[in-house]
Amino acid sequence: MSSRKTQRTVIIGVARSDAHAVANHLIAMRLREAGFCVVNLGVCTPLEDFADALVAHPDAEAVLIGSLNGHAYEDLRDLPALRAAGRLHCPLIVGGNLSVGSHKDGDERERLLSLGVDHILDEADQIPLLLDLLHAARATPLTGV
């Protein structure tokens, strides 16, 4: 995969209130192994920083935000405002433990999708597959994936 002419770029990081570093590092590792250029913003990253990173890396295929502490909705609350301001226009993928504690899984997904999150993943191992699907869909816009 690394023999591609131009390297594919993704932006990853952990949601604002979340300091879980291990999964973030493992995902970065996995994507680098798969040949991606990974811009890793690390733990405790506000949404604004993801938007800034996208400005700096406009070729990024997607922004991946991890959240393990159950505060995904609160941490992504500003997404509609940012999008309205013309920022973060790129597939936004969220994954991790979104339904910690008393949150209902379905509700939490609906709430995140209503903010404008494009994809929600349960397993980190699904990330390369989803990125490939998005990539293929973009390359051949008429095939309904």
Partner 1 sequence: MLPPWTETMQYIRKSPKRAPVEVLRAAAARGRPVVQPRCGVGGHDEMRTLLTTLERRARPGILTITIDSFTRLKQFRTAAQTLQREPADLNGYPLVTHGWRRGRELNESVDAPIEVRHGSPDPRELFAVSLASGFTSFEGGGIDYNLPYSKDVSLTRSLAAWAQVDRLCGLLAEEGVIVDRELFGTLTAVLVPPSVSLAVCVLEARAASLAGVRCLSIAYPQGGEVHQDIAALRSIPVLARRYLPENVEIFPVLHEFMGVFPADPDVADALILYGGLTARLGGAAKVINKTNQEARGIPDAQANVAGIRTAALACTDLLDFVRVDEATVEEETYWLQREVAELVEPVLAAPDLAAAIVDAFADGRLDIPFSASVHARSEVIPKRDATGAIRYLNPGRLPFSRPTLRRNEQCLRVDRASLSRRLIDEIRSDINFFLHAERRFQADRATVECPGPANTGPGAAASSGGVR
Catalytic residues: 18, 20
Q: Does 22 bind partner 1 (CB under 8 A)?
A: yes
Task: Identify the helix (H) or strand (E) that includes residue 29.
Answer: helix 22-33
CB of 112 to partner 1, least distance (A): 23
Q: How many chain residues interact with partner 1 (CB under 8 A)? A: 14
Contact between residue 125 and residue 117 where contact means Cβ atoms under 8 Å apart: no
Establish if 1 lies at the interface with partner 1 (CB under 8 A).
no
25 vs 138 by CB, closer to partner 1: 25
In eight-state DSSP terms, residue 142 is T
DSSP 8-state assignment for residue 124: G
For residue 94, count CB atoms less than 10 angstroms from its CB and return exposed for 0-12, middle for 13-18, buried for 19 or more: buried
Closest-CA residue to 17 (of 45, 38, 37, 41): 45
Which residue in the set 7, 29, 80, 104 belongs to the binding site for partner 1 (CB under 8 A)? 29
Q: Is 21 in the site for partner 1 (CB under 8 A)?
A: yes
Cβ 19 to partner 1, closest distance in Å? 6
Cα 85 to Cα 70, 90, 111, 118: the distances in Å are: 27, 14, 21, 18
Annotate each residue in 36-75 with x if it binds partner 1 (CB under 8 A) or - if it does not, as one string. ------xxx-------------------------------
Minimum gap (Å) between residue 100 Cβ and partner 1 = 13
Give the length of the chain: 145
The residue ranges that bind partner 1 (CB under 8 A) are 19, 21-22, 25-27, 29-30, 33, 42-44, 124-125
